Amino acid sequence: MEAAKDLGVDITSICGGLGLCGKCKVIIREGRELLSPPSSSEERYLEPGELRAGFRLACQARFSGRGKVVVEVPEQSRSGRQRLLVEGKHVEVELNPAAHIAVLKLPKPSLSDPRAHFERLISKLPHKGSLRADLRVLRYLPRAVKKGNWTVTIVWHTDVGLLDVRPGEDERLYGFAVDIGTTKLAGYLVDLRSGELVSVSSAPNPQIPFGEDVIARIAHSRTEEGFRELHRVIIQGINGLIREACESARVDPRLVVELVVAGNTLMHHLFLGLPPRDLAEAPYTPVIDSPLDVRACDLGVEMLPTGNVHLLPNVAGFVGADAVADVLSTGIHLSSELSFMIDVGTNTEIVIGNSDEMHAVSCASGPAFEGAHIKFGMRATSGAIERVWIDPNTLDVKYSVVDGVSPKGICGSGIVDALAEMLSAGVIDTTGKILEREHERIRKGPDGMEFILAFADETAIGKDIVITQRDVRELQKAKAAMHTGASILMSEMGVSVKDVERVFMAGAFGLYIDPASAKRIGMLPDFPLEKITQVGNAAGVGARVALISIDKRRECWEIAQKIRYYELAAHPRFQEEFMASMYLPHLDLFRFQEVVEKMDGLVVADRHKNLLEKLKSRLV
């Protein structure tokens, strides 16, 4: 795995090289004797036939001698180009960026007017007031003034001061917003003079090989080397986004004068190089929650070196600036209606509230929907099954695949569909147990009972793609974490499903997952489908809004201070709620509730009203 990283070889690594996911299978074509013997992890994930054929886990096989080792990376172990979400619901906002630009014609100094260059510049500013100067800008100021023949273009920031001086007239002005997700990065290049989105860029979070979830990355950061590594790669990742977006728009990265960053609390700390150790231990204390402005050159961000990097505020614990950006873009804080917002991901945030109050939790839903711990799980790359339909009578399976090619695995949206369809078709019961029955798609495998989604002759990997009993348990834990967070939060607020007027599903999973399937497996509370809106990358949209409006940026701090945070794992009812949420809703009850909801809209004869009320009470 280390060699693959150094050489840029594409190998899936979900668990960060800990031997816990089994996704980095490679085939040793030459030099098997030069490698360490198979570890216990490999014996767990590799079948005896695979071991004999030379399969190894790349993260476990260590080179232990001199000579040549030839390694083949099979199709199922290549991560490929991931489909990453950057789009989000558009938000109208009045343009009022923190960065401004102006062309100034300065009077030449003389013996009768020997004022300093900086004071001469201030006297021509289009606004009243003082202007702080950066030492780097001051060093370049005399050359810029003379090179421009006493005409300069200045860039200044409302909160930070003078950012740049350019010789002559050059009014190009760009900003960049970035959403640092646990699994993906999304960047947005914006023209700050018009507010227009110029180009977008995206990439997997480069920290993934060092740990799929936030806890794994905190563990990796406990050594000084690991901590510096996580900071270095996230800076490199964001520099890559800026480069890609600027190249696409043919814009010099030095014209990017401000960067606005949103991410959960751990991503925020690792980006800034702040030690995150206290986030893993009660009372889960961050280094800083308030908004922060930092010079680009102090972080190594490849934009205008004296440009401003603005970090949106965190809330508490693992509810960070991404949740604040979600709230900003959905407008929950401005509405009198009670809203429910869930940003579904490896680290899921839930916010419930309105203009009067807001409450939030963070759920460690884990990487199951990214394919970790799922036998044929994978990210949403080419060949991933993304939609599943099962005929309840015949158990025939239909599916759709990313890019329309032969399948080689299943991604998050397909996994949720598969579980919902298996439940509706009676393949599993409400405890999640795969039921034994005589059918070609149901069989006993190495991990217990399993259900075949795609037969070997349909797939790109020459193997049956299955959902195993162990897979079902992993999915139950992931969905239970989300349902537990929602249940406890609603209970603390004293509200029910009926009190919620609007439901927002945010994030890549939130856009691609079928809300009906999410309800069917109990991942979401039983909100009516017509109340659910899928808003895409709301955190990215919120970061863009904060980039082009300093008023909205200040609103973010008000939002962060207004949200009341609950530490889910420390809640006295957490274990009880989590175990209850592991169950899957009963199909008859699920259908019955739909019938009762429809009956509510009917005119019912008096003699039947008592019966209807009894039915409702039994349902509850």
Q: Which amino acid is at 35?
A: L
Taken as a whole, the chain contains a residue count of 620
Please, which residues have CB within 8 angstroms of residue 407's CB and are 6 or more apart in sequence?
383, 384, 385, 399, 401, 453, 454, 458, 459, 460, 465
CA distance 607 to 122: 84
Give residue 502's pLDDT.
Answer: 93
> Distances from the Cα of 337 to the Cαs of 325, 333, 356, in angstroms?
19, 10, 10
Give residue 84's pLDDT.
Answer: 47
Q: Residues 144-151: contacts with CB within 8 Å, 24+ apart?
A: 145/106, 145/117, 150/105, 150/106, 150/107, 150/108, 151/103, 151/104, 151/105, 151/106
Interior angle at CA 585, CA 338 and CA 574, nearest 5: 65
- CB-CB neighbours of 299 under 10 Å: 19
Contact 243, 302 (CB under 8 A): yes
Of 66, 64, 42, residue with least CA distance to 54:
42
pLDDT (tens digit per residue) in 380-422: 778 889 899 999 899 999 999 988 899 999 988 899 999 999 9
Contact 301, 175 (CB under 8 A): no
Strand order in the sheet with 161-167: 99-105, 151-157, 161-167
Contact 349, 264 (CB under 8 A): yes
pTM of the model: 0.80
CA atoms within 13 A on the CB side of 87: 5
C-alpha torsion sign, points 322, 238, 270, 478: positive
Helix/strand/coil for 608: helix
Give residue 608's pLDDT.
Answer: 64
CA distance 284 to 1: 32
B/e letters for 462-499, b = 16+ CB within 10 Å, e = fewer, are: eebbbbbbbbbbbbbbbbbbbbbbbbbbbeebebeeee
Task: Report the number of secondary-structure helices (H) and strands (E) in the chain.
Answer: 19, 24
CA distance 396 to 399: 10
pLDDT (tens digit per residue) in 72-103: 887 667 765 555 445 556 677 889 999 999 99
SS (H, E, C) 474-538: HHHHHHHHHHHHHHHHHHHHCCCHHHCCEEEEEHHHHHHCCHHHHHHCCCCCCCCHHHEEEEECH
Low-confidence ranges of the chain (pLDDT < 70): 14-17, 75-76, 79-90, 127-130, 366-367, 371-372, 508-510, 587-620
pLDDT (tens digit per residue) in 343-391: 987 788 999 999 999 999 988 776 677 766 788 888 777 888 989 999 9
| Locus of tokens 């809209």 | 601
Strand order in the sheet with 292-295: 197-204, 184-191, 174-180, 256-263, 308-311, 292-295
- The pLDDT mean for the chain works out to 86
The structural domains of the chain, ordered by start, are 2-77 (3.10.20.30), 99-167 (3.10.20.880), 176-311 (3.30.420.480), 331-364+481-581 (3.30.420.40), 368-476 (no CATH), 590-619 (no CATH)
Contact 520, 585 (CB under 8 A): yes
